[in-house]
Structure 1
Amino acid sequence: MRVSRYGVVALTGLALLLLASARDESSGEDNPAKGRIEATYRVDWAGMNLGEFHLNATFKGSAYEMKANGDFSVLAGLVYRASGTTTSSGKMTRFGPEPSRFTLHYKGGDKRETRLMRFTGGTIKVSITPRKKQNPQKRIPVTKEQLANALDPLTAAFLSARYDGPRGDLKVCHQTVPVFDGKQRFDIVLTPKRADRLDATKGPVGLSGPVAVCQVKFKPIGGYRPDHPGIKFMSETDEIEVWLVPLPRTPLYVPYLIFVPTAWGRGSVTLTEIKMNIDG
């Protein structure tokens, strides 16, 4: 039971963190889009549907606001149940997103946690409730330099800037996304894997066609325990991949499909529905 619970937590948590989008720093635009995006993702693990999470992103000029919430369970909650809500806000610049505030409210079993991160003047202030006592000797420390330009998980997960190349161009996979979740600092490194195609009968309406499939590497930087089995497994595997698709009539890319291996079965996160009202 304990192993199963850890596998579920690893998948649902990493699902949010490993959703990577394309950033093209050559764009001179400060506001890549205006309007609203609503997306629903389904999470599966070892042949079981764990649940889904819903994301709403709103763009107003250069400012953005995002909110995601999810409910996950195994066997109708008899084995495992968790829910969470996360928000992020900030602005878009010519170099990519700059978050200003991030929140996370998580509830799973007998565990509850609230995190708040504020991005101010190149620094990140973190508040975690309840605050657990940690043995600093067991964790690799996070330095101030490592936090420079780091994104919160939700911004790193979904928000993308412009990429003006052909649809399915594997150049979209050349990127490294720096992430800080309030405890751990890590990089999500994308590299080209292969070109594929999304069948019109499988994906949401309007997203069929060529897709870029990127290999994803999880690279821990600080705030983690080197002996943690989940960190060790995720940093060593070469089997994580993400399918990136462009939104119609926009230069925005979103993840359609993510494959995440775990020691207890393969997991996947799939975009099942998307609604948008965007002016590019």
Structure 2
Amino acid sequence: MIARMLAVLALAGLTSTSVAAEGPKSFRVDYSVSILGLNIARSSFESTIEPRTFSVSGTVASSGIARIFDQTEGTAEVRGNFGDDGAQGNRFLLNYTSGKKKKSTEIAFSKGTVTRALNTPARKPDPKVWVPVKKADLVSVADPLSASLVKASGLRDVCDRTIKVFDGEMRMDLRLSYVDTGTAETRGYSGQTVTCRARFVPIGGYKGDHKSIAFLKNKSKILISFAPLGTTGVYAPIKVSATTEIGTLVVNARRFEAISQ
């Protein structure tokens, strides 16, 4: 469970890209993940964006004190298209190793609808406590990488939405609401941000009696700060914080820049 949550947190909402007006553009974004001030993970992604298509690939790994308890390393990639509602992945692939166990997740989509989801090794959840994912829940959803791309007419409008995410097993909503605007500065970016409160709503694909899920749903305070990517009308997370049962988890962008134009 720790490995899966680490992989999702380091991937969900953690890629920055923009819609190019013409020709491909490439971007690099690096993130660090910490809890109680202790570094536990890092991720690095490169994105190539064209007028109607995009691709993202990168790595994620546990680091610092987390490697003592759970050594996780992995790669992720997605290719897709831009639609009216943002990025729509066509194929998402995650491969990672937790300790000595190798795991993978592959999700195929057709216009935002999941057509196939394969986890290796396959899980056999207890049907007595498992909340299943219904077929209707897999329509108009995004993988963790594509879900990070937000099209909006302005800063305030970024928070006026629900982000529907499917990670290959769990289906969840992040219902955003406006908090405030501010500024941020990191390598490659200095400028305005908008902060949204995110309400975590589990839909299916989880143990109904899981204490961590219940805490995220009922007690956690989740804040996501988005930054504009040039004048593209696309916004991406630059900071995420979420309270957990053991402390506040923080994801910070250490690098957020274009590497080719």
Using the size of structure 1 for normalisation, the TM-score is 0.82
* Backbone CA RMSD of aligned residues: 2.8
The corresponding residue for 1:139 is 130
Specify which of 142, 155, 164 is matched with residue 153 of structure 2.
164
- Structure 2: tracts of 5 or more residues without a match: none
Cα deviation, residue 35, structure 1: 1.1
> Secondary structure of 2:122's match?
coil
Q: 1:181 aligns with which of 150, 162, 167?
A: 167
Is the contact made by 1:22 and 1:160 (CA closer than 8 Å) also made in structure 2?
A: no
* Correspondence 1:191 to 2:180: no
Q: 1:20 to 1:231 in 2, by over 3 A?
A: farther
CA distance in 2, matches of 1:33, 1:142: 39
The structural deviation recorded for 1:138 is 1.9
The one-letter amino acid of 2:69's match is V
Q: Distance in 2 between matches of 1:76 and 1:226?
A: 27
Which residue is 2:11 aligned to? 16
The 5-angstrom pairing of residues 23-172 of structure 1 reads 34-75=24-65, 77-120=67-110, 122-156=113-147, 158-161=148-151, 163-165=152-154, 169-172=155-158
Per-residue deviation, residues 119-176 of structure 1 (Å, max 9, x unmatched) = 13744211221123222232112111110111111111x3233x332xxx32221110
1:76/1:16 CA distance change after superposition, 3 Å: closer
CA distance in 1, matches of 2:146, 2:114: 17
> Which residue in 1 is equivalent to 2:189?
206
Return the letter of the residue paired with 1:51: A
Greater Cα offset, 145-154 or 236-245: 236-245
Match of 1:267 among 246, 249, 253: 249
Over 3 Å counting, the alpha-carbon distance change for 1:193 and 1:155 in structure 2 is: same
Partners of 2:49 and 2:24 in 1: how far apart?
5
1:239 equivalent to 2:221? Answer yes
TM-score, L = length of structure 2: 0.88
State the distance in 2 between where 1:89 and 1:160 align: 16
Deviating more after overlay: 86-95 vs 270-279: 270-279
| Largest Rg, 1 or 2 | 1
Distance 1:22 1:238 in 2: 28
Q: Which has the higher strand share?
A: 2
Aligned counterparts of 1:87 and 1:15: Cα–Cα separation in 2: 13
Bigger mean CA offset, 107-116 vs 213-222: 107-116
Query: Are 2:30 and 2:42, in contact at CA under 8 Å, matched by a contact in 1?
Result: yes
1:113–1:11 Cα change, 3 Å = closer
Alpha-carbon distance, 1:82 to partner: 1.0
AA partner of residue 164 (structure 1) = S
Separation in 2 of the partners of 1:50 and 1:205? 23
Q: Distance in 2 between matches of 1:142 and 1:21?
A: 28
Q: Aligned equivalents of 1:173 and 1:72: distance in 2?
A: 30
Per-residue deviation at 1:182? 1.2
1:230, distance to aligned residue in structure 2 (A): 1.3
